[in-house]
Amino acid sequence: MRYVYLAKSDLDALIQHLKKSHRVIAPVKKENLFILAEVQGAGEIALKYIPTILPPKKYFFPPVEKLGSFKMGDEKMNSVNMETQPTVLFGLHTCDIDGIECLETVFHYHPADPYYKKRRKSLVLIGYECMFPCDEYATCVTMDTHNPKAGYDIMITDAGDKYIIHMNSEIGEKLIGTCLAVSRTGNDADIKFELRRLREEKIKKFKTILDTEYTEIHDLFKQSYKAPAWKDVGKRCVSCGNCTTVCPTCYCFDIQDEVELNMETGERKRIWDSCQLEEFATVAGGENFREERSERQRHRYYRKFCYSIDKYNKFFCTGCGRCTRACVADIKLYETLNQLKKETNNV
């Protein structure tokens, strides 16, 4: 059986079960926002939450990561002996699971990234399906990330008086299989039917705020390279880089060698970078091939909606809305896309 029930009052029993073998990271409330943090019990978890400030990517690809150390004069660097800890990421929204799918694609693309691969093996993904839209900035319905599809080990869906648990991998089955709190009173076909009914009700609560259909977005971008919208967002953007830091699918990084004060040894680090920062596209000789903010903004959107389709056949925007919530200049992703649509219609 791949579908089972869990009584709502047994959620803590499930967390305690997971904690026997794993560290459990889950969304928790911090003032008016939410973060992912280690929890000791279900009481600390915020199951109703708007996307956490930073997405789960920090557990796959940390903001600062030591890659190795070196000694001046040596020909080779010593690679780092990376320690990982078995960890459950609990309560992930389906859009964030889609974001992890984007990272999977990129970091496994030839040549696969060994640091990412090692971390990934230590992580178990348990999703929590959103039954209501997070807020007015989420575009998950248009981006088709509002329902669980793939990429998770276990998915939990609120079915009113109980939870439905879907085990989607061998790891998921093993973890749930030994949990005494779950109930096996239904059969897979009936539970799947119940899930279909729940999702038919759920979709009525979600509004689409993008004027472009999923299947038209790539074409819209093929026609929008010279659109006036880029000048408009370029005038407002202050190049702070918040939008890329909080994005679950942005993965650009810089490599920096830090030499110790003894001038003999040092460390090589991988650090998150942002295409929105002016120096990002500066090359030898001081040339900058994306000097204007409008060019950098356009690049960000094209990385989400056009280039990723051309290269990986996948949108790299999950519709989580984080870039809109975090933008200090009030640049809203859905407004930019709607403006592009208007401008293309007027050509």
Does 127 interact with ligand SF4 (rule: CB under 6 A)? no
Closer Cβ to ligand SF4, 112 or 238, answer by number: 238
Q: Which of 157, 168, 224, 318 binds ligand SF4 (CB under 6 A)?
A: 318
Helix (H) / strand (E) containing 334: helix 333-346
| CA distance linking residue 172 with residue 189, whole number of Å | 19
Mark the segment that binds ligand SF4 (CB under 6 A) among 9-17, 185-193, 241-249, 281-289: 241-249
- Per CB under 6 A, does 105 bind ligand SF4? no
248 binds ligand SF4 (CB under 6 A): yes
133/266 with CB nearer ligand SF4: 133
Report if residue 340 touches ligand SF4, rule: CB under 6 A. Answer: no
Give yes or no for residue 328 binding ligand SF4 (CB under 6 A).
Answer: yes
Burial class (CB in 10 A: 0-12, 13-18, 19+), 132: exposed
The region of 82-90, 157-165, 188-196, 247-255 touching ligand SF4 under the rule CB under 6 A is 247-255
Q: Please tell me whether residue 281 binds ligand SF4 under the rule CB under 6 A.
A: no
- Taking the complex as a whole, the smallest distance from the CB of residue 155 to ligand SF4 amounts, in Å, to 20
Is 93 a binding residue for ligand SF4 by CB under 6 A? The answer is no
Segment interacting with ligand SF4 (CB under 6 A) among 118-126, 158-166, 183-191, 318-326: 318-326
Does position 242 interact with ligand SF4 (CB under 6 A)? The reply is yes
Residues 83-95, buried b or exposed e (16+ Cβ, 10 A)?
eeeebbbbbbbbb
- Cβ closest to ligand SF4, residue 14 vs residue 89: 89
Q: Concatenate the DSSP letters of all residues of 290-313 into one string.
A: T-SHHHHHHHHHHHHHTHHHHHHS
Q: Note whether 219 and 212 are within 8 A (CB).
A: no
CA distance 30 to 24: 17
> Binding to ligand SF4 by residue 325, rule CB under 6 A?
no
Nearer Cβ to ligand SF4 (77/240): 240
Provide the angle, in degrees to the nearest 10, between the axes of the packed helices 229-236 and 333-346: 150
Q: Which value, to the nearest 10 degrees, does the dihedral of the CA atoms of residues 319, 248, 14, 132 take?
A: -20
- Strand locations in the chain (E): 3-7, 23-30, 33-38, 64-71, 78-79, 87-92, 123-128, 154-158, 162-167, 253-259, 265-272
- Is residue 130 close enough to count as binding ligand SF4 by CB under 6 A? no
Query: Is residue 94 at the binding interface for ligand SF4, with CB under 6 A as the rule?
Result: no
Subset of 221-240 contacting ligand SF4 (CB under 6 A): 237-240
Phi-psi region of 70 (alpha: psi -120 to 50; beta: other; left: phi over 0): beta
As measured in angstroms, the least distance from the Cβ of 324 to ligand SF4 is: 7
Q: Annotate each residue in 289-308 with x if it binds ligand SF4 (CB under 6 A) or - if it does not, as one string.
A: ---------------x----
Would you tell me which residues interact with ligand SF4 (CB under 6 A)?
Answer: 237-243, 246-249, 276, 304, 317-323, 326-329, 331, 333
